[in-house]
Each structure stands twice: as structure tokens, then as C-alpha cells.
Chain A
Amino acid sequence: MKIAMIGWEYPPFKAGGLATHCYGLTRSLTDKGVKVDFFMPKTKKSASSDKDNLRIIEVGETEIFPYDRPDSKEIGGNFFEAVYYYNRIVVSKVEKYIKAGNNYKAVHCHDWLTMKAGIEIKEKWGIPLVLTIHSTEYDRSGWIYPNQWFIDIEKEGMKKADKIIAVSHFTKRVIVDKYGINPDKISVVHNAVYPIPKGHKQGIVLFLGRLTIQKGAEFFLRAASIVKNFEPETKFVVAGDGDMLPRLITQSIDMGISDKVIFTGRLTEEEVKHIYGISSVYVMPSVSEPFGITALEAISAETPTIASKTAGFSEAFKNCLRVDFWDTDEMANKIISLLRYEPLHKTLAKEGKKEIELFTWDRVADKTIDVYCGVI
């Protein structure tokens, strides 16, 4: 079986969970004998493959990212045109491979950015389209003023796809309720994680993610301002970059906790692993979280995790703490409890690590192959 997969990011280049997913999925697929041609944009750090069945094919440059918004400054008014342009060059690249004799059984796209290309290939060449939805416009906007332009692209892609993979039941419900898609063609496949080693815990409470409205870092800071009154030795780390960074820094100064909070900016892969390892608590206060792969990463490093009640991963995961993202008192209650009560910390770390072992890319690949088999 040969699959044309159209992605956006792939390690070492990484802006979010999409890269992690594509990396884990493609490697496990090829281990199971599926041949994958992975099409992605050229980046500064070139991606490469050490697997025979996996080819990474670079398509040309682009300046758009899957998490970009049309109002983001660097892209300005050319945003929509840049998206259409990139999709066109993806189509011509894939067509070149088809004409060269590659018999793709399915074309598999991830999220909105390359849906147009997927649809065009499906319609022109009759190759079934599989779509994985990692997040929707509703998630990325935090359900505040979602942009209709994205929604229209997503809706068209979902309607025309032969099968959809949702990363959680939460996301499946959004696809059914907000996009009007038949639930029968949606399969839920929860993400997985490559475990990260545990480090020497240093009483750090960690936020790690894009600093956008979706990820809820402001709630993390509010909880931090409560925690510091009870556990004054605690350090808080906000790791990541995004359009909300200046506002968050101002917020921490206004709340009088700027001496307790470290903003690291964007971290490298190695730094991310390190910070997961040495943190004592990971908090994921996302306003909307289709899955939340970072929570699994933190838990794999034996860092107990407090996550939004609606986070997709927690549908299938027992050994974590849950809060409403807006309930910063309860978030602080749980952070303090984790810092104070060693048996709680120890049990969550131990049981979480055990449960994480069920979340393998091998399982994700199996379920994805089931979906492929349903369309060919």
C-alpha cells in the first residue's frame, strides 16, 4: 500500500503537535509495510528519513504555518493568496509523482492548510481522500470570532473527504455539530507519544504551548498569582512563543508575579525535553484542546498534569487532574496539592507513566491502516 501524505511540518522543524503526529505516524506506518511519500514545504532545517519505505519530499517554500491567522503581521494581505499558491504547487508536485508511476491508494491530508490540494488530487485522479483533523478553526480561535474563511475550507474538505480521522471524540462532535458531517465517516484515533526521560524535579510549575488565545496561558498566570501566596518558593515557567507574549508579560507584571515567572520564548527540541523532565507540575489550561499531545509528553516524563476538562486526551486517560480552564481557584488548589502532598505527586507520576505505555504510535498506525482499508 502506498500513500501520499501531505503535511506541513516535520521534525526537526516543529511548531506544534502536527509535526509530532506526522513523525510518529509515518514511522510506524512504514514499520508495518505501508509506503509513504510525505510532501511538505522546504524549511531551513531540512527533514530527512532513515526509513526505506518513507520518502520526505520537499515542495517549495512558503511562509504560512498551520497556526497562522490572516491578521498576523508578517503575512498581511497576501495570506489567502499565499495559501492558494502553496496548494497549487503541492498539487503539481504530487501529480509529477503520480505520472512517474507512483500508484497512491489514498491521499492523506492534515488540517485545513492542504485540504484544497487534497480535494483537487482526489477529483482529478480519483484517489480517495483521508483527512486528519487535529484542530478546527473553532479551537484555534478559542471559540471567539472564528474566521469564516477557514471554516469554509474545512467544511469543503470534510464534505469531500472519503474518511475523516478525528483526534478525539470531542473533535468528532465538533465536526458533526459545527460542520454538519455524517458521523459514520469519522473515526476517532487518539494520539500517542514517544516517552521523554524523567529529570531531577525542581519545584517548577510549567506551561508549554503556543501563546495564543486557544492555549489559555493567561489562566495559568492567574493561578500562579494565587499559588505564590501559599507556596512562595514555587517557580513558574511559560515556555513557547506566540502573539500573546507581550500581553502575558504585562499581565505578570500587573499581578506582581514577574519575579516568579520565567518566559523562555521558543525552545528547541532538546530544551523542551529537559523542561518536561525537571518540572514538578504541568498545566494545560487550554480553552479548546482537541487532543493535547503535550500533556502526554509531560506525563511520560513523570510530571503530573492538570488539564482542561474538555481536553481530548483526557477522554481516554485516567491518571491526570482535570479542571475547568476558567476555574483558576481550583487550578491553584490542585497545583498546591501537588506541591504539598508528596504521595499524590508520586502516585500520579507512577500511574500516569504506566498508563502512557498504552499510547503508542504503533496503535495509531494500526487504526490509521484500518481507515485506509475502508477507502481502497
Chain B
Amino acid sequence: MASVCLYFEVHQPIRLNRFSVFNIGNEGSNLSYFNKKLNQQIFEKVAKKCYLPTNNLILDLIRNYDGKFKVSYSLTGTFVEYCQQFMPELIDSFKELFRTGSVDMIEETYYHSLSSLYENMDEFEDQIKMHNKMIKNLFNYHPRVFRNTEAIFDNRIAKKASEMGYKGIITEGTEKILSWRSPNYIYKPVNSDIKVLLRNYTLSDDIGFRFSARLWKDHPLTADKFAYWINHNEGDLVNLFMDYETFGEHHWEDTGIFDFLNHLPREVFKHKHIDFVTVSEAVERYEPVGEIDVPRAISWADEDRDVSTWLGNDMQIACFNELKNIGSKLKEKGNNELINTWRRLQTSDHLYYVSTKGLEDGDVHAYFSPYDGPYDGFINYMNILQDLKAKLF
């Protein structure tokens, strides 16, 4: 193994207020769709447990290893808005990290949306441009690598990202597209000229999902053990992509997750010839070894690794279509305030809460959901969409 590429997804959704059928079209009630109080509470909690301490730790590690420890981030627009509203010092902290030169920023849709799946890709492009503008304002930087919401990827999306000038794109290293091939190399889509970085899901999930699982045979996971596994993976680079909340939130501090991260660079550097790269460096340094053909969308979510997480049942499809159709009418009307609201409702989390997948995945869904199950999630979200629709006329 030659390089390790660490990328963290940093996102918080905009959770909704309880909105009953009686609120639909009820102008007098003036009930906001968005639950500011709950959003602030959760944001501040996660910031204290995860964002602030992890940023500090990573900054220390970059300094201690003379900039040789490197990471990449993708910050969603909704996350940055929370920082600006509730905790501006967190933005400063990301700026300081970026100034070290060992941190890269990744592009994505501003609203962490499913707009890439609309037939018409204009909205998708608009949201990427919004995100680009935000990153430019904050960091005076234009990201070179794009990652779509939850790594949703197909030929069409890859082509669009390529046309918009991105050099690299991120998705899941699933057997569905690789079959016998290794995710530890760069690939190229059949229909466009862009380099694809594939998540090594086994090693990524060892940290992201299994780290604190006491029944896992490799528990407890130590940095030296993990570095040994990395070294024994063949290929150009191992892509460790995960939610930033892995540190301190999905796995609490007492699981030892921060110690793990703290010791990881030292243990990795013990193996000669391995270095850390940012996503931009990865796509500059390595060349594709083969092509991938992805006619049907894949993602990094759930066991299915496709879009069934958001579009897996009739309720989700109904909401998705309703949302999409409202959008085209809104744009004809050109009401900017309503378009802004509509975009906030596009955050993929709203559909994630409506998933009815059972077993293991279902437990993960329940962990993140603010609702008493997918049906309540549907009723609330659909009621809001009906209200927004009523405002069109």
C-alpha cells in the first residue's frame, strides 16, 4: 500500500417541526417548517462531543507530523449555516485547519440533496454552484474533487461532474461495480474523463460502524492493528471515507475513538512507503487502472449500497415526486423565498427517516430519526409538502 486518503463528511440536517394536516393551508398559524430549537440543541451537542474536539485533535496531529498527516472534508451548506448561526468559532477552526495546507475541501450539493436523481439536472448544478460559492467565500478555494450526497453515483452524475470541471469524484467501492477488482485504485467511468475514488468499505466501516461493537471479533480496534491491515492491503491507495460524527458522537469518547485517531498517524508512519494524501493529491498522483460502468445509481448507504435508502418504498417515492414537481412550478413563478424553503426540504435526511427497511439497517435509521418511526416521518413531511404546494396558488 502506498497512500492513505482520509475524508470526513460533515453534515447536519434541518429537522422539521410537527406539522399536522390541520396546519396545511392555514395561513394564520404561521408555524415554521423548521424546528430551530431542536436543531440548535442537537448541533451544539454534537459540536461539543465531536466537531470541536476532533478539529483540535486533527490540528495537533497535522502540526506534530509536520503537515504529513492529511485529511479532506466535505462541509454541507446546512452545516455551515448552523455554524454561522450558533457557533462561528467552529468555522474559524475549519479555516485554521485549511490554512495548514494539509487539509482539502470537497464539493457537494449545498443542501445534501437528491437533486442528482431528478430528470432535469439544472437544480443539481445550481446546488453545486451554491456550495462552490460558499467554499470560495470561506476558504478562498475551488474544490477539485466532487462527492455527491451519500456518495450516490452513476454514469450520468459522473459525466455531469466531469463537465463541470471536477478532476475527481467519490463513490462506494462496492462489488456491484467492481466485481473481482480492488477498490484500492483509481478508476474511470465508461462515459467521461474524471477519476473515481472508491471507498474501501471494509476498512472504513471497521472504524465507522464496528469500532465500539464489543461482539466484533477484532474488538478492541487499535491503531497499530489497523495500520497493519492498511499495510497488507494491496494497491495504490486506501480510501477511508466516513461521517465526521464517527468521532465522539457515533462512538463516544469512552470507547477510545479519540485515542485511536491520535495514534493512527504514528502507527501508519511506522510502515515505510506509506503516506497520507488529500483527495486532490490522490487524483493528481494516481492514474486509472480500469473503467467502471454504473448505469444504475449506487451509494454508500445501508447494506444495499443503492438509492433504496431514500427511494425504497411507495411513501418515499411519493414524497420525492411531490417535491420534484413543486420545484418546477416554483421556478416558473420565481418566488425566491419559497425556492429557498423548497431547497431546505430537499435535504436527503427527510426521506431517510421514511425508510421502512428492517433489521440492522432499520436500527441505524431509528438511531438518527427524530420521529416515532417512518410512518410519522412520512405524515409530517408530506403535510409540509402539501402546505408548500398550497402556497403556489
Contact = CB atoms under 8 A, between A and B. Distances in A.
A343 interface: yes
Contact of B383 (A322, A332, A337, A346): A337
Contacts of A337: 21, 379, 382-383
Nearest to B319: A343
Nearest to A227: B21
A333 B20 contact: yes
B315 interface: yes
A82 B315 CA distance: 55
B22 A344 contact: no
22 contacts: A318-B358, A319-B356, A321-B375, A321-B376, A329-B22, A330-B20, A332-B21, A333-B20, A333-B22, A334-B379, A336-B21, A337-B383, A341-B315, A341-B318, A343-B313, A343-B314, A344-B315, A344-B379, A346-B314, A347-B313, A347-B314, A347-B315
B378 interface: yes
Contacts of B362: 318
A340 interface: yes
Interface string B96-131: 000000000000000000000000000000000000
A332 B23 CA distance: 13
Prevailing SS type, chain A contact patch: helix
Contacts of A330: 20
B376 A343 contact: no
A343 B21 contact: no
A95 interface: no
A341 B378 contact: yes
Contacts of A318: 358, 362, 373
A196 to B, nearest CB: 22
Contacts of A362: none
Contacts of A351: 356
Prevailing SS type, chain B contact patch: helix
Interface string A148-159: 000000000000
B372 to A, nearest CB: 6
A230 interface: yes
A74 B221 CA distance: 71
B378 A344 contact: yes
A319 to B, nearest CB: 8
B376 A230 contact: no
Interface string A8-36: 00000000000000000000000000000
Interface in B346-393: 356, 358, 362, 372-373, 375-376, 378-379, 382-383
Interface of B: 20-22, 313-315, 317-318, 356, 358, 362, 372-373, 375-376, 378-379, 382-383
Given A230-B21, A321-B376, A333-B379, 18 more contacts: A318-B358, A318-B362, A321-B375, A322-B373, A332-B21, A333-B22, A337-B21, A340-B21, A341-B315, A342-B318, A343-B315, A343-B318, A344-B375, A347-B314, A347-B315, A347-B375, A348-B375, A351-B356
A89 B226 CA distance: 74
B225 to A, nearest CB: 37
Nearest to B386: A340
Contacts of A341: 315, 318, 378-379, 382
A371 B115 CA distance: 55
A334 B382 CA distance: 12
A346 to B, nearest CB: 5
B146 to A, nearest CB: 32
B136 to A, nearest CB: 41
Nearest to B375: A321
B221 to A, nearest CB: 32
A343 B317 contact: yes
B372 A322 contact: yes
Interface string A344-370: 101110010000000000000000000
Contacts of A340: 21
Interface in A211-239: 230
A348 B377 CA distance: 13
A320 to B, nearest CB: 8
Nearest to A335: B21
A319 B357 CA distance: 11
Nearest to B356: A351
Interface string A255-295: 00000000000000000000000000000000000000000
Contacts of B20: 329-330, 333
B270 to A, nearest CB: 48
A333 B314 contact: no
A230 B22 CA distance: 9
Interface in A287-330: 318-319, 321-322, 329-330
Contacts of B378: 341, 343-344, 347
B48 to A, nearest CB: 32
B313 to A, nearest CB: 5
Contacts of B313: 343, 347
Contacts of A342: 318
Nearest to B376: A321
Nearest to A230: B21
Most buried by A among B20, B356, B358, B379: B379
B356 A347 contact: yes
Nearest to A355: B358
B315 to A, nearest CB: 5
A302 to B, nearest CB: 14
Most buried by B among A230, A321, A341: A341
A278 B372 CA distance: 28
A305 to B, nearest CB: 11
A347 B319 CA distance: 13
Contacts of B376: 321
A332 B21 CA distance: 9
A154 B101 CA distance: 74
Interface in A147-194: none
Contacts of B383: 337
Nearest to A318: B373
B30 to A, nearest CB: 18
Most buried by B among A321, A329, A330, A343: A343
Contacts of A343: 313-315, 317-318, 378
Contacts of B318: 341-343
A329 B382 CA distance: 17
Contacts of A230: 21-22
Contacts of B315: 341, 343-344, 347
Nearest to A320: B375
A334 B315 CA distance: 15
Contacts of B22: 230, 329, 332-333
A330 B342 CA distance: 26
For the complex of A and B, the 8 pairs showing the least CB-CB separation, nearest first, are: A343-B314, A343-B318, A333-B20, A337-B379, A343-B315, A336-B21, A347-B315, A347-B313
